[in-house]
């Protein structure tokens, strides 16, 4: 009998969407239980609605977007992305350097598949957005995790990055604004990282999907704008800023010196053609969406949902004895610390599972983001204030009687 096991490469893939906690949540849901899902950054189920104008435009375009597009995407979409790149201070991006994708997710995988050979290393943050580690691993490479420092607003620890560069390192992933920490990196840190990439000939992979979800009137700096001489692949999309995660709409653009990476660009072109193209109706609204900033901004100012929910969750979590958290500056995630001594916690996945079983609330344990110590978890603060309050009350109540060992 042949044995059809899943690929052993998948053993190393650790998502926030699989494992014993998700299995238990699915079991509870199948038994009719109502679970509050604070584990996935999907705005639609929490009453966020995409701008009506965008939906109207997509509807209007349906009949003209029935066929495949160019494998890189509609020219009009790529022109809009070029314009947006310029606006962000990124020089030299042409329509030919832009690839649209079925979400940023598809392009993360594609960008790693096209680059890595066995033994190649990519520097990935810890904590990370786990798709990055998964994609590096699936492409046959090794993800080497560099630390982000909670005591310094969760900024990347540049000294740690330096220590982890080897002669096998091909690139560095920067997720800014960050999932899961909600951190927004200052220009100075980005400049230091650029300098390291320059000295060591690294490609920069800049995941900037949350760049339009920045709070407190702060400015997002695209790392590619600081590195005009370095090959940088910048990722962005409409899932979060325009609340259309289900339409699967993302892109990546290459800029900087490509002269030493002709083979890599060929590989990307090949992989892009192999999937024919990305969702064409969704591509058709990239231009209008990028001209439509106000709708998103409304969510981010006092009185706006993301702002008010951020204010609440930060305060409420810090009020729970044994929990502390850094104030998130962007996106809609918070990555609190739990006092593991106080609660005897040795296994963060068990903590999240115990909480789920007792309170029907789904969190993600820090280990799901390649965070080594069992002392963190992530909350997606998309639900409305009332639900967030219930969640925080239940967490406080649960912890008041919790001891793992
Ligand atoms: N990058 C980061 C940092 C994310 O948090 C996400 C989704 O949560 C993605 C990429 C993927 O987004 P999408 O595939 O919907 O464009």
pLDDT in tens, 131-188: 999 999 999 999 999 999 999 999 999 999 999 999 999 999 999 999 999 999 999 9
Q: pTM of the entire structure?
A: 0.96
pLDDT digits (tens, 9 = 90+) for 126-140: 999 999 999 999 999
Distance between the two ends of the chain, CA-based, in angstroms? 44
Residue at token pair 């004895």: 321
Last residue of a domain, one of 229, 259, 294: 294
For 41-156, where are the E strands, in sequence order? 98-101, 121-126, 142-149, 155-156
With a cut of 90, say whether residue 52 has pLDDT above it: yes
Pick the closest to residue 216 from 268, 272, 177 (CA basis): 177
Which of 405 and 371 is assigned the larger pLDDT?
A: 371
Average pLDDT over residues 330-344: 97
Q: Which of 16, 179, 180 should be mutated for ligand 1, with most atoms under 8 A from CB? A: 179
370 alpha carbon to ligand 1 midpoint, in Å? 16
Is it the case that residue 102 has pLDDT exceeding 80?
yes
Residue 15 has pLDDT above 90, yes or no: no
Strand 361-362, strand 36-37: pairing = parallel
**Predicted pLDDT at 5:** 77
**CB of 135 sitting under 6 A from ligand 1:** no
Which tokens in the block code for residue 139? 């492409």
Domain contains 324: yes
Reported confidence tier of residue 13, pLDDT bands at 50, 70, 90: low
pLDDT for 19 equals: 83
Quick check: bond before 45 cis, omega within 30? no
Q: Report residue 336's pLDDT band, with 50, 70 and 90 as the boundaries.
A: very high
Mean pLDDT of 276-285: 97
Judge whether 105 lies within some domain.
Answer: yes
Domain match, 323 and 175 both: no
What residue has token string 């109207």?
A: 56
Whether residue 59 is contained in a domain is answered as no
In the DSSP assignment, the letter for residue 6 is P
Distances (CA, A) of 81 to 86, 144, 305: 9, 31, 27
Residue 356 pLDDT exceeds 60: yes
In the prediction, which pLDDT does 7 show? 76
Q: Say if residue 217 is in the same domain as residue 349.
A: no
* Total domains present in the chain: 2
* Protein residue with least CA distance to atom 5, ligand 1: 179
Q: What does the block give as tokens for 269?
A: 């072109």
Torsion angles phi and psi, residue 88, rounded to 5: -85, 5
Tell how far the Cα of 250 is from the centroid of ligand 1, in angstroms. 9
- Domain end position, chosen among 265, 294, 323: 294
The CATH number covering residue 165 comes to 3.40.640.10
Angle at 65 between CA 61 and CA 71, to 5 degrees: 135
Q: Percent of the chain having pLDDT more than 90?
A: 93
Q: Give me the mean pLDDT over the 332-361 stretch.
A: 97
**pLDDT given at position 394:** 98
Do the beta carbons of residue 376 and residue 348 sit within 8 Å?
yes
Regarding whether 289 and 303 lie in a shared domain, the answer is no
Q: Which of 179, 209, 245 to mutate to test the pocket of ligand 1 (most atoms within 8 A of CB)?
A: 209
Q: Is the distance from the beta carbon of residue 287 to the nearest atom of ligand 1 less than 6 Å?
A: no
Alpha carbons 81 and 91: distance in angstroms, whole number: 12
> Do 169 and 274 fall into the same domain?
yes
Show the domain range for 391.
20-48+298-399
Asked if residue 253 lies in contact with residue 97, where contact means CB atoms within 8 angstroms, the answer is: yes
3-state helix, strand, coil in the chain (%, to 5): 45, 15, 40
Q: What is the pLDDT of residue 1?
A: 76
Residue 232 belongs to some domain of the structure: yes
Same domain, yes or no: 383 and 395: yes
Same domain for 200 and 304? no
Helix (H) or strand (E) holding 182: none
Question: From ligand 1's centre to the CA of 179, what distance in Å?
Answer: 9
d(CA 197, CA 236): 21
Apex 140 CA angle, 272 and 236, nearest 5: 45
Are 202 and 265 members of one domain?
yes
Report the atom number in ligand 1 closest to the C-alpha of 129. Answer: 3
- Is any atom of ligand 1 closer than 6 Å to the C-beta of 128? no
Strands 203-207, 250-255: pairing kind = unpaired
2 falls in which pLDDT band (50, 70, 90)?
A: confident
CA angle at residue 208 from 204 to 210, to 5 degrees?
Answer: 160
pLDDT value of position 294 = 87
Task: Indicate whether 235 pLDDT > 60.
Answer: yes
Does one domain contain both 69 and 143?
yes
Average pLDDT of the residues in 50-67: 95
Distance 3 CA to ligand 1 centre (A): 34
pLDDT at position 9 is 73
Q: What is the mean predicted confidence (pLDDT) over 62-87?
A: 97
Question: Please, are residues 238 and 250 in contact by the beta-carbon 8 Å criterion?
Answer: yes
Same domain flag for 192 and 256: yes
Residues 138 and 68 in one domain: yes
Write the DSSP assignment of 161-176 as a string of letters: HHHH--TTEEEEEEES
Domain boundary among 294, 324, 341: 294
**Residue 237: pLDDT above 70?**
yes
Distance 186 CA to ligand 1 centre (A): 21
Strand, helix or coil at 145?
strand
pLDDT band at 16 (very low <50, low <70, confident <90, very high): low
CA of 403 to the centre of ligand 1 (A): 34
Residue 12, in any domain of the structure: no
What confidence score (pLDDT) does residue 3 get? 77
**How confident is the prediction for the chain on average, in pLDDT?**
95
Residue 57 lies inside a defined structural domain of this protein: no
């Amino acid at each position: 009998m042949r044995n059809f096991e899943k690929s052993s490469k998948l053993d190393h893939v650790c998502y926030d969407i699989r494992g014993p906690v998700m299995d238990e949540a699915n079991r509870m849901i199948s038994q009719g239980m109502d679970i509050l899902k604070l584990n996935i950054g999907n705005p639609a189920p929490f009453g966020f609605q995409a701008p009506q104008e965008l939906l109207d435009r997509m509807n209007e375009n349906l009949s003209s977007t029935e066929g495949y597009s160019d494998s890189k995407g509609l020219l009009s979409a790529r022109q809009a992305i070029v314009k947006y790149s310029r606006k962000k201070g990124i020089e030299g991006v042409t329509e030919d350097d832009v690839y649209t994708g079925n979400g940023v997710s598809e392009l993360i995988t594609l960008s790693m598949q096209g680059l890595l050979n066995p033994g190649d290393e990519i520097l990935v943050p810890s904590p990370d957005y786990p798709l990055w580690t998964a994609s590096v691993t699936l492409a046959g490479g090794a993800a080497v995790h560099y630390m982000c420092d909670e005591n310094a607003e969760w900024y990347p620890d540049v000294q740690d990055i330096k220590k982890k560069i080897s002669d096998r390192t091909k690139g560095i992933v920067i997720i800014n604004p960050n999932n899961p920490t909600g951190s927004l990196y200052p220009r100075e840190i980005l400049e230091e990282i650029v300098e390291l990439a320059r000295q060591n000939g690294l490609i920069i992979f800049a995941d900037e999907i949350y760049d339009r979800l920045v709070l407190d009137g702060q400015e997002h700096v695209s790392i590619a704008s600081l590195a005009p001489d370095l090959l940088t692949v910048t990722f962005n999309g409409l899932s979060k800023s325009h609340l259309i995660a289900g339409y699967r709409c993302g892109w990546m653009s290459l800029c900087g010196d490509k002269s030493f990476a002709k083979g890599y660009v060929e590989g990307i072109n090949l992989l892009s053609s192999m999937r024919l193209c990305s969702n064409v109706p969704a591509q058709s609204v990239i231009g209008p969406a990028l001209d439509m900033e106000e709708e998103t901004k409304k969510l981010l100012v006092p009185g706006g949902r993301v702002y008010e929910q951020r204010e609440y969750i930060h305060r409420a979590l810090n009020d729970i004895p044994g929990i502390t958290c850094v104030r998130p500056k962007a996106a809609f995630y918070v990555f609190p610390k739990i006092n593991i001594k106080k609660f005897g916690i040795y296994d963060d996945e068990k903590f999240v599972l115990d909480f789920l079983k007792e309170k029907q609330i789904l969190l993600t344990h820090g280990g799901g983001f390649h965070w080594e110590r069992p002392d963190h978890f992530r909350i997606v603060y998309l639900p409305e204030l009332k639900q967030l309050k219930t969640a925080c009350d239940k967490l406080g109540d649960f912890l008041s009687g919790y001891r793992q060992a």
